[in-house]
Structure 1
Amino acid sequence: MSNPLSNFSLLPPFDQLQPQQAEPAISELIEQCRAQLEAGLKNPGWDTTLVPLEEAQDSLNRAFSPVSHLNSVLSGPWRAPYEAALAKVTDYWTELGQNRDLYRVYQQLAEAGEFSHWPQARRQAVKLGLRDFVLGGVGLEGGARERFAANSRRLAELGSRFANNVLDATNAWSYHTEDEAELAGLPQTALAAAAAAAQAKDLSGWLITLEGPSFLAVMIHAENRELRERVHLAFVTRASETGPQGGQFDNSAVMEEILALRAEQAKLLGMSSYAELSLASKMAPDCEKVLEFLEDLAARARPAAEREFAELREFAAEKLGLEELQPWDIAWTAEKLKQQRYAVSQEELRPYFPYGKVLAGLFAVVEKLFGITVEEDTSVATWHRDVQFFWLLRDGERIAGFYLDPFARENKRGGAWMNTVCVRRQGAAGLQLPVAYLVCNFSSPAADASSPAAGASPAADAPSLLTHYEVTTLFHEFGHGLHHMLTRVDVAAVSGINGVAWDAVELPSQFLENWCWQPQAIAMISGHHETGEPLPQALLDKMLAAKNFQSAMFTVRQLEFALFDFRLHCRDSGASAGEIQQLLNAVRAQVAVVPVAEENRFQHGFSHIFAGGYAAGYYSYKWAEVLSADAFSLFEEKGIFDRDTGDRFLHSILEQGGSRDALDLFTEFRGREPTIDALLHHSGIVECDETAHE
């Protein structure tokens, strides 16, 4: 019987996939890639070497994609097969990046007289290919070459181990109670979820976990201060040497080895730090520019953040009897202050944002902006009953597809992300459509555990009710998805998000979030889950008034993460766990305004930089937020659904993928280079600072 991972056309046959299929399929496809490379090198050229190699590597990528994905959303049985496949894939790509014969093909193409007349996407693919060969160690000799390859393999292993430790620590902790009084203040949605979590473990009462919806509900709403402290400390000490699971899933040694290997990789390539190596494929010109950007933004935002925290502390003392705010009091107190000031809460908004209505409204917003429609296809096999599959259509023709896995569950990685199933490319069988995974961790529907049959909409029974924060998360991930799916480029290396500078990749995602705050769009994405009535004007006004509540505090928190990440990777060597903590403490002293528990080990769960693609790149969120705010300001001038402006964004940004430099594309859309003013304005920070200077 043939291995379904080795031979499928477009969509992975999830109903046929088994963990034991992963390693044999990946091994077979890698050998096919090697054989194709050997054949192609005998007759060097774009059509004779690079095109057939792309074809073979696309088959490998499409097979590895579901293996990697299933490890993230199901873990358990897919973990070991994924890690075995990851080791083989890492070896292959490292080997390819050091192949000098292939490197010479790229050099010959770039030096050919006709190169300047090639289509832009081909030229950019060659240009970026040459860069990546250098970053992949193609120029290294002997022991250095071998060491670079070994480090690459080990870094892939360590990134996976880091993520596994965080997931295992998250799953391993829970708090069970049969006394509902302990959970006073929790909204009904959270109580229902806690009861369902207990029932799933054959327990009576309620079970609090460290999954996002459960954790946040306690931190924001629980009146029980002791419970807040217990849950907070369990969360901020995950995968560390301290806390209730101290040492059990400890990432200390993992971080130390990752940082040492990254620093060594940079040195092998003749660079001063891993940050310098990271910036070689980003928009930012150098390390000094990134630090200058972050520290300038921190200097502007911190005075406003200090005022916001002073207000919070004063409110806590006067109204709540809390003379000293502890870390587990911050979110709870902020919610109380927000209620007093604006008389609005996420829980009050929740009934007006049922998942199905939000999703339909999101699709309607995108249709008005970019002229595309979305159509569900219930015939497509998925990996879980909650997962839906959709096609994107333009003028009735399918142009892309995506899977949507919206709800939190055990053994599913936390957070939200977009990843690729396959890219748009011109292949031997014709044009391959781009397909994406969109993954979130929303509260699941308060429906019976025997929820709908596979393929049915999760919103068909009792709906999941989203907070407005979760609504913006859905828009954010869909923005990433549009960047991947709406590309017109058909060369894989620069199609969709491929080849896009990492500090520009957040532009479309943060850009789309803006519509979550526009009354015209809110009317499309909201409606009471029982009556369908629109969000009342009074509630809408309160929500919009509260938009920038504590936005400066949020800004400095993001800057804390970004500065910690970048300074950590600016070092010319690795760092011990103690040194990592000292650096984080120093950054907090510079920019943070809220107290932090002594036991806090945020870094041990910072998967973005230790297990994701954001090492020396977390600043990208703020860097791209400048771009997104500035881009949206043009819609504010022209109208938020102005079709001409939507078409400009579509043609200049979304359709271009990585075929041109990100700054050139932004400048083409906006008519000038970006400025920070729109970001400060949208965050309400400028107004705060101007008031302070009067």
Structure 2
Amino acid sequence: MTNPLLQASALPHFDLIKTEHVEPAIDQILQDNRSKIEALTQLDDIRWETLARPMEELDNRLNDAWSAISHLNAVVNDEALRDAYNNSLAKLTAYSTEVGQNKALYEAYKTLAESDEFETLDQQSRKSVENILKAFHLSGVDLDDDKKARFSELSNRLSELTSKFSENVLDATQGWYRHIEDEKELSGLPESALDGARQAAKQRALEGFVITLDFPSYFPVMTYCDNRALRQEVYEAFLTRASDQGPNAGQWDNGPLIKEIMSLRYELATILGFDNYADRSLAKKMASSTEEVLDFLNELAVKTKPVAEKEFEELQAYAKEHGGETLNGESLQSWDLAYFGEKLRQNRYAISQEELRPYFPAHKVIQGMFDCVHRLFNIEIEQSDEATLWHPDVTYYEIKRDGQKIAAFYLDLYARANKRGGAWMADCRVRLKDKDNQLIDPVAFLTCNFTPPVGDKPALLTHDEVTTLFHEFGHGLHHMLTKMDVYEVSGINGVAWDAVELPSQFLENWCWQPEALQLISGHYETGEPLPKSMLDKMLAAKNFQAGMQMMRQLEFSLFDFRLHTEYSDSHPVEAAEILKDVRDQVAVVKPPSFTRFQNSFSHIFAGGYAAGYYSYKWAEVLAADAFSKFEENGVFDQQTGEEFLHAILEQGGSREPMELFVEFRGREPSVEPLLHQAGII
């Protein structure tokens, strides 16, 4: 039978893909690509159609296969697939470095960029060539042979280490659970969390309840459970995952991996002529210098810290007054913050995430979200059975405009065993024109880890989960509504990493608008929309502890950026030291010394956010300012929606993000709308 990963198809054959298909498919594609690249470097006649278009096809074929493999590795992980994935990843990394250092291929692109034809190409094609030339330099094409070889070794080893980091976090998360037989130990836990804990126990053939470190289990314990000792136990297990501390100390320890990752990143950056890894990271971002990023983060911290300190003082006072029995004379600890924070929120606003949950059944939220984007961007979204799926929970949708299909996506909402935690969007297919000038529609993977349906009840989302869904769908729209058809700049390809969060954070705003909430809420039993009294309380509570939340994000951002700026061979700073120093500067609450947050910080040690976690805050400024135009014109104003669609979503990475923002907003961004939105000023 033909390997399904090699079949030219609009969509992956998830019903046919088996682990044994993975490595042969990657081997075959890499072999084909190498021979075709060899032929391309012999060209005498270098034009867009003879060089860039064939290279696009090679990149796209490889992406089609790898997107399916890496997605399955994230959502139905097992040992055999993990091995096949890691073996293939090593081959891909070597291939990527080899292509990036191919001098003949680089010279061919340079010839194209300097040709008379180049000026006649459209904007997206020119930008793609410029991006490719920059990527050659960042891959070490200018290095001598010894340095090229070392660069390749570093890239391969970093690929192994970051993959292992992610695996350790997954294994550590799944490697701990707490079995509880007496329901009294779970006093305070809402019914939805108790149902989930019962289901987790049944899955392990146990009586009673099971608490795990998956977020839908961890979060309710920290927020609602009256049992302080249990909160402490669960907190310690969660904050020591993959470390030398806690209940599984040393078993999946990421500490040594962090040291090696930092050392190799520094060496890789300096081989390329950068002072540090942060400088290398900024080579493809909006921010122009490490100073600009640090000034930006520090300015936000200075403006926010007094607000956060006041919030923490209020929390301490509330806990002291109302938590006598629970605290037993002790001071407020990290495992008390969410618990007393929720009590204070309910005391002040008489509203909780759990009270809101019945009004946000997943099916209603999804349909309401589709209605919102229909009003904004004139698109229709319909469920389809045209795709094969990897799990019964997954659904597949098509996006249409004027009855014409323009994109599609898979939606995988619920937490389960062997699925990576968190929420993300990834591309499955990239929009481009193939060699026959036929348009390939973009397809996205949208993945979350929400509490699944229990028994006869539908899945009921917290408002935080609703916001997460809108966030990931914003990424998806950026990928799927692109009008670009050149691979390198289509969708999110080629978009500066500190601008890529703009559409996702932008779309979150509709989760707070009364007009949108009418569409996305409806009681799961009665269909009644969110009552005005609850809506008013929810909106009043919107910025509850916003200062503390902002400082927490700034803590993560400063830790990441300072670590990658300050680390050097002569000064190999420890992650824990930098984290402590940052906390001394910005944290209003300092966690216990046993915590090892950095050991599960996959965003920077296993994802694409190394020296880039600041991007969330950077893009939040863009998103708040962009949304302020809708506040001026109406949250469903069609003209403003069309302007955002044309300026931001459709143009992908074809122009610099600041140009696109100015095209939409008429000026450069200001930090003020974000601070207003968060109630800081």
Q: Quick check: TM above 0.5?
A: yes
Residues 1:462 and 2:469 are matched in the alignment: no
| 1:34 CA drift (Å) | 1.1
Task: State the partner residue of 1:156.
Answer: 159
1:432 counterpart residue number: 440
Q: Is the 8 A contact 1:316 1:325 kept in 2?
A: yes
Show the 5 A alignment for 1:328-339.
328-339=335-346
2:523 to 528, 538, 546: 528
Structure 2 counterpart SS, 1:603: helix
Structure 1 residues 571-592: Cα deviation after superposition (integer angstroms, max 9, x where no partner): 2426999821111000001001
- Whole-angstrom CA distance in 2 between matches of 1:274 and 1:531: 55
Given that 2:364 and 2:522 are in contact with CA atoms closer than 8 Å, whether structure 1 keeps it comes out as yes
Aligned to 1:66: 68
For 1:181, the equivalent position in structure 2 comes to 184
**Structure 2 Cα separation of the partners of residues 156 and 575 of structure 1:** 24
The code of the aligned residue for 1:362 comes to M
Contact kept? 1:45, 1:109, Cα under 8 Å: yes
Aligned residue number for residue 407 of structure 1: 414
Q: Which amino acid aligns with 1:16?
A: L
Structure 2 match to 1:265: 268
Report what 2:28 is aligned to: 28
In structure 2, C-alpha distance between the alignment counterparts of 1:216 and 1:469, rounded to whole Å: 11
Match of 1:625 in 2: 620
In 2, Cα distance between equivalents of 1:57 and 1:635: 38
The aligned counterpart of 1:370 is: 377
Q: What CA distance in whole angstroms lies between the structure 1 residues aligned with 2:212 and 2:643?
A: 45
- Pick closer, same or farther for the CA change 1:350–1:213 going to 2, 3 Å: same
Query: Corresponding residue for 1:451?
Result: none
CA contact (8 A) 1:480 1:506 kept: yes
Q: Distance in 1 between matches of 2:74 and 2:480?
A: 21
Letter in 2 for 1:45: R
Is 1:396 the counterpart of 2:398? The answer is no
Question: Shift of the alpha carbon at 1:363?
Answer: 0.2
Tell me which moved more, 104-113 or 164-173.
104-113
Structure 2 partner of 1:453: none
CA distance in 2, matches of 1:226, 1:608: 30
Q: What is the alpha-carbon distance in structure 2 between the residues aligned to residue 251 and residue 169 of structure 1?
A: 10
Q: Secondary structure in 2 aligned to 1:368?
A: helix
CA contact (8 A) 1:374 1:393 kept: yes
State the partner residue of 1:345.
Answer: 352
Q: What's the counterpart of residue 289 of structure 2? A: 286
Distance in structure 1 (CA, Å) of the matches to 2:501 and 2:167 = 25
For 2:97, the equivalent position in structure 1 comes to 94
Aligned equivalents of 1:157, 1:6: Cα separation in 2:
25
Code of the aligned partner of 1:9: S
Tell me if structure 1 keeps the 8 A contact 2:47–2:117.
no
> Please, what is the CA RMSD of the aligned residues?
1.1
State the partner residue of 2:648.
653
- 2:310 is the counterpart of 1:327: no
Tell me how far 1:56 sits from its aligned partner.
Answer: 2.0
Q: Does 1:444 align with 2:452?
A: yes
Task: Name the structure 1 match of 2:49.
Answer: 47
User: Secondary structure of 1:582's partner?
Assistant: helix
* Letter aligned with residue 54 of structure 1: E
What secondary structure, in the 3-state scheme, does the structure 2 residue paired with 1:533 have?
Answer: coil
User: 1:39: how far off?
Assistant: 1.8
C-alpha separation between the residues in 1 aligned to 2:447 and 2:2? 30
1:8 Cα shift?
A: 3.3
| Structure 2 CA distance for partners of 1:578 and 1:192, relative to 1, 3 Å | farther
**Residue identity matched to 2:209:** W
1:171 maps onto 2:179 in alignment: no
Q: Distance in 2 between matches of 1:574 and 1:342?
A: 52
8 Å CA contact 1:255–1:577 kept in 2: the answer is: no
Partner of 2:664: 669
Counterpart residue number, 1:383: 390
* Deviation for aligned residue 1:595: 2.9
Bigger Cα displacement from structure 2, 177-186 vs 54-63: 54-63
* Deviates most, 541-550 or 27-36: 27-36
- What is the identity, as a one-letter code, of the residue corresponding to 1:394? R
Number of the residue aligned with 2:132: 129
Question: Which of 633, 636, 661 is equivalent to 1:638?
Answer: 633
2:12 corresponds to which residue?
12
Give, as a single letter, the amino acid of the residue that structure 2 aligns with 1:528: H
> What is the CA distance between 1:462 and its match in structure 2?
2.6
Indicate the SS of the match to 1:618. Answer: coil
Shift of 1:118: 1.3
Report if the CA contact (8 A) 2:301-2:551 is conserved: yes
Query: Contact 2:365/2:521 (CA < 8 Å) preserved in 1?
Result: yes
Query: After the TM superposition, which segments of 4 or more aligned residues of structure 1 sit over 4 Å from their partners?
Result: 574-578
Distance 1:582 1:199 in 2: 43
Partners of 1:253 and 1:577 within 8 A in 2: no
- The question of whether the paired residues in 1 share the 8 Å contact of 2:442 and 2:480 is answered with yes
Q: Extract unaligned runs of 5+ from structure 2.
A: none
Label 1:310 to 1:574 Cα distance change in 2 as closer, same or farther (>3 A): farther
SS of aligned partner of 1:415 = coil
Task: Report what 1:603 is aligned to.
Answer: 598
Indicate if the aligned counterparts of 1:260 and 1:575 stay in contact, CA closer than 8 A: no
Residue 553 of structure 1 corresponds to which residue in structure 2? 548
2: CA distance, partners of 1:554 / 1:318: 23
**Which residue among 580, 583, 587 is the counterpart of 1:585?**
580
Aligned to 1:456: none
Q: Which moved more, 1:57-66 or 1:666-675?
A: 57-66
Structure 2 match to 1:689:
none
Shift of 1:320: 1.4
Secondary structure in 2 aligned to 1:399? strand
Does the aligned pair in 1 maintain the 2:475–2:501 contact within 8 Å?
yes
Native 8 Å contact 2:354 2:462 kept in 1 = yes
- C-alpha deviations, 1:226-282, integer Å up to 9, x for none? 000000000000000011010000001111111111000111011100000000000
- Cα deviation 1:12-52 (Å, max 9, x = unaligned): 00000101110000010011111111222222332112211
Counterpart-to-counterpart distance in 2, 1:389 and 1:589: 47
Instruction: Report the Cα distance in structure 2 between the residues aligned to 1:126 and 1:284, rounded to whole angstroms.
Output: 22
Aligned equivalents of 1:299, 1:339: Cα separation in 2: 29
SS at match of 1:312: helix
The more displaced of 136-145 and 373-382 is: 373-382
Measure the CA separation in 2 of the matches of 1:29 and 1:199. Answer: 44
Matched residue, 2:256: 253
Equivalent-residue separation in structure 2 for 1:134 and 1:120 (angstroms)? 22
Q: Distance in 2 between matches of 1:611 and 1:169?
A: 15
Deviations 1:461-502 (A, max 9, x none): 531000000000000000000000000000000000000000
Which moves more between the two structures, 39-48 or 277-286?
39-48
Rounded to whole Å, the distance in 2 between the matches of 1:165 and 1:395 is 47
- Cα pair 2:40 2:105 within 8 Å, conserved: no
5+ long unaligned stretches in structure 1? 448-460, 687-694
Residues 211-235 of structure 1: CA deviation (Å, up to 9, x unaligned):
0000001000000000000000000
State the shift of 1:57 in Å: 2.1
Aligned residue pair count:
673
